[in-house]
Amino acid sequence: MQLKKNLSIKEALAVATCSLLSQTPQDALATAAEGDWDFDVSVLNYQEASRVRVVEWDMKSKWQYKDDSALSFSIISDSMTGSTPSGAAKVPVPRSDTLSSASGIKVASDVGEAAGKYLASLTSFVDRRNGFVVDWENVFSRTITTNLTGSYSVETDYDSLGLAGSAGVDLNNKLTRVEAALSWGWDTVSPNLQDGPPPEGAIVGGNGISTPAYEDGHKLILDKGLVVTQILNRTTLTKFAYTNRRADGYLSDPYKLVTVKNDISGLPKSYYYEKRPNSRSGDNLTWELRHQMAGGSVFDGFYRFYWDDWKISSHTLDLRYRIDVGKSQYVQLHGRYYTQSAADFYTPSLTEEQQQNLPQYMSADYRLDQLATTTIGFKYGFNFSQFGHFRIRYEQMAQKGTDGDYTQLNAKILQAIVSMKFGR
Amino acid sequence: MKRCVWVVVCLACLAGQGCASIYKPPQPWERDILAQDKMQLGGDPVETGIDDKIYFSKESSTLGRSIGGGGCGCN
């Protein structure tokens, strides 16, 4: 009887130990532990004050197999409307600066005496983006996993094709995980302009756009990454990562202009399409720490340092604090601060003197300016069953640039997500 | 730039030192807390995926918490 009892305890311990030993740091990070089939639906409403609005639907379905390998399929659908700064300078006369049209550069139509003379400083657009992502996680051995991802998205004027692969190995009794990743992307830019994509740096002539036909622009994007995840103690994890992105090809924004201003009046004299270098290499160092406190609250801190050969460098600090409310609900506070330096070819406008000797590269895109972004947010989550999880978050983003006509951007982010686990 | 690199190096050293003092590796049977969904590094992937896209569209730094992913002609 005693022997039987001991055997039973041994068996139980063996099962428990095997079960625990089969857990990798990847398991500790995984969400799909309990179901054969996970399903997520998310809807986002992103609204800028008087500018861009994006409504995005994401659906993801994930099948988990017995050996912990998994296949997932995601569908993304965006609807984008609104207006965005074109780079054309604001004209200080009563006028409607914004036009309703498809993506592209349009001549301002309601400028009183100046009708047709100046280009709109805000161009409106309507576009839709549809895409899908297929992901295959494969458990190669007890300590090695691989991942392969394919993605494709299409907009009226932009296609993106991507392929990414990674391999990770668990070391140090599965306390450390080292992962290497590679990604290849091929994007096609086909702007919605009358005569096709503009040659970068070309002058915008007369009262409208006159450019020769031009083949679609392409860009090749290669990402490399090395990630180290470390379990520090029973309640703390940390992750260090280095990533690099190299992009080559048509890196200009085909809708963005640079304005030459009259030295005396300050009014626009002429416009050029922007021109950016045809290559860019950017590096990231990131550090993340996640810690669970005694009461079950979770703190997450993320820091990123970025620098590239366009002379942009940035710092990002992202903090989240989750507080459990009872057994099935929680709230999460979120704060993010970002600051970047300007690209070395950023210029809000050009002088007549600069026009005589045009810079090799030039852009008035406000996103290349020296700027800072602050975001604060609140999230509420609710486990409505053992296998169902709903959460909703609201965030406010405020961005402030340094130099240009549109230096202030405020946006509201509202996202709702439902996740379900089925099977087992 | 040099100053930024030094700041990062100093932060990394501090982080390393801090990590060393709290480094008490758990045994395999002590990883129950780390296996919880809320302990997933990177947070809620649906949420952080959206965030990466928003900030990629509105700022000039590329790559966030992951590599690859679909590009866009974002405004």
Out of B54, B65, B68, the one facing A413 most closely (by C-beta) is: B54
In a domain, B68, yes or no: no
| Element holding A161 (H helix, E strand) | strand A158-171
Yes or no, beta carbons of B40 and A31 under 8 Å apart? yes
Interchain CB contact of B3 with A (< 8 Å): no
B38 to chain A: which residues are within 8 Å by CB? Answer: 292, 298, 322, 330
Interchain CB contact of B13 with A (< 8 Å): no
Structural domains counted in chain B: 1
A249 to chain B: which residues are within 8 Å by CB? Answer: none
Contact status, residue A193 vs residue A173, Cβ threshold 8 Å: no
Out of A288, A289, A313, the one facing B1 most closely (by C-beta) is: A313
Distance from CA of B64 to the nearest CA of A (A): 8
ipTM of predicted complex: 0.83
Q: How far apart are CA A359 and CA A182, in angstroms?
A: 35
Q: Which residue has tokens 């809320």?
A: B38
Interchain CB contact of A279 with B (< 8 Å): no
Task: At A419, give phi and psi (nearest 5°).
Answer: -125, 135
Chain centroid, CA A37 distance in Å? 27
Task: At B3, give phi and psi (nearest 5°).
Answer: -65, -40
Q: How far apart are CA A420 and CA A68, in angstroms?
A: 18
**Using 50, 70 and 90 to split pLDDT, how confident is the model at B12?**
low
Contact status, residue A128 vs residue A160, Cβ threshold 8 Å: no
- Other Cβ atoms less than 10 A from the Cβ of A383: the count is 17
Q: B50 is in which domain, residue-wise?
A: 35-60
Coil/strand/helix, residue A102: coil
CA distances from A345 to A40, A188, A253, A362, B9 (A): 42, 24, 14, 5, 28
Query: What pLDDT score was predicted for residue A325?
Result: 95
A28 to chain B: which residues are within 8 Å by CB? Answer: 31, 34-35, 39-40
Residue ranges of chain A whose pLDDT lies below 50 = 1-34, 94-96, 98-104, 107-114, 195-196, 205-213
Contact status, residue A248 vs residue A279, Cβ threshold 8 Å: yes
Query: What pLDDT score was predicted for residue A184?
Result: 96
Coil/strand/helix, residue A384: strand
Yes or no, beta carbons of A20 and B55 under 8 Å apart? no
Among chain B residues, the shortest Cα distance to A46 is held by B54
Query: What pLDDT score was predicted for residue A149?
Result: 95
Contact status, residue A253 vs residue A273, Cβ threshold 8 Å: no
Q: How far apart are CA B34 and CA A24, in angstroms?
A: 10
Yes or no, beta carbons of B11 and A303 under 8 Å apart? yes
Q: How far apart are CA A26 and CA A30, in angstroms?
A: 6
Query: What pLDDT score was predicted for residue A213?
Result: 40
Among chain A residues, the shortest Cα distance to B18 is held by A232
Out of A20, A391, A397, the one facing B28 most closely (by C-beta) is: A20
Query: What pLDDT score was predicted for residue A10?
Result: 45
Yes or no, beta carbons of A155 and B72 under 8 Å apart? yes
Percentage above 70 pLDDT, chain B: 65
Q: What is the dihedral of CA A339, A342, A346, A349, to 10 degrees?
A: 70
For A31-422, give the CATH class: mainly beta
A69-78 residue pLDDT tens:
999 999 999 9
Query: What pLDDT score was predicted for residue B17?
Result: 66
Q: How far apart are CA A410 and CA A317, in angstroms?
A: 19
Q: For residue A332, what are its two tokens?
A: 């999460």
Query: What pLDDT score was predicted for residue A212?
Result: 42
Interchain CB contact of B16 with A (< 8 Å): no
- Other Cβ atoms less than 10 A from the Cβ of A125: the count is 21
A81-125 residue pLDDT tens:
999 998 989 887 544 454 444 444 554 444 433 456 788 888 888
Which candidate in B10, B22, B44, B55 is best for mutational testing of the A interface (most A CBs within 10 A)?
Answer: B44
Out of B7, B28, B73, the one facing A155 most closely (by C-beta) is: B73
DSSP string computed for A183-212: EEEEEEE----TTSSPPTT-EE-TTS----
Distance from CA of B53 to the nearest CA of A (A): 11
| Element holding B45 (H helix, E strand) | helix B45-58
Query: What pLDDT score was predicted for residue A4?
Result: 39
Q: For residue A61, what are its two tokens?
A: 């379905």
How many residues are present in chain B?
Answer: 75
Q: How far apart are CA A382 and CA A329, in angstroms?
A: 4
In a domain, B53, yes or no: yes
B28 to chain A: which residues are within 8 Å by CB? Answer: 17, 20-21, 23, 173-174
B25-47 residue pLDDT tens:
999 899 999 999 999 998 898 99
**Is the pLDDT reported for residue B23 higher than 70?**
yes
Q: For residue A59, what are its two tokens?
A: 């659906």
- Other Cβ atoms less than 10 A from the Cβ of A260: the count is 20
Out of A16, A233, A393, the one facing B22 most closely (by C-beta) is: A233
Query: What pLDDT score was predicted for residue A117?
Result: 72
Q: Which of A255, A253, A248 is nearest to A281 (CA)?
A: A248
Would you list the domain boundaries of chain A? Answer: 31-422
Query: What pLDDT score was predicted for residue B21?
Result: 74
Query: What pLDDT score was predicted for residue A344?
Result: 96
